[in-house]
Amino acid sequence: MSSSTRSQPRQPSPAQSEAQSPTVPDGPSDKRAPVFHWSHPTGSGRIEIAVWDKTVSTDNGERVVYSVTCQRSYRKQEGGYENTGIFWPTDLLVLAHGMQVVFDRIKEMQQNGTKDVQENGSF
């Protein structure tokens, strides 16, 4: 049985520095892109989890640290979509599964010493 969750590998630019995060063009200013993104539809919308990287200097040299954001998107009655950090009880198992996938991906990136495993990830 197939899932509607998506997975696509990230294609980093050859000129991109190891210490830089990818950017998403957004008009005059560029926004950083997550190094991994997981999403899955639910009865109340779509759960989305993004993993962000940051290179920090420590006493032992530079290292990459990761942070995670999650949100639920839903269709508004008047049309269009809205994002929220509020989840319904029916969203929680999907959110928990997504967090497990993201946790495993971060561990994999840390063990391999890589910053980019996948964008738009899935299980």
Percent of the chain with pLDDT over 70: 67
From CA 95, how far away is CA 46, in angstroms rounded?
10
Q: Residue 70 pLDDT > 90, yes or no?
A: yes
Q: Residue 38 pLDDT > 50, yes or no?
A: yes
Pick 42 or 71 by higher pLDDT: 71
From CA 43, how far away is CA 71, in angstroms rounded?
14
Tokens of 74: 């839903």
From CA 73, how far away is CA 85, in angstroms rounded?
9
Confidence band, pLDDT 50/70/90 cuts, at residue 7: very low
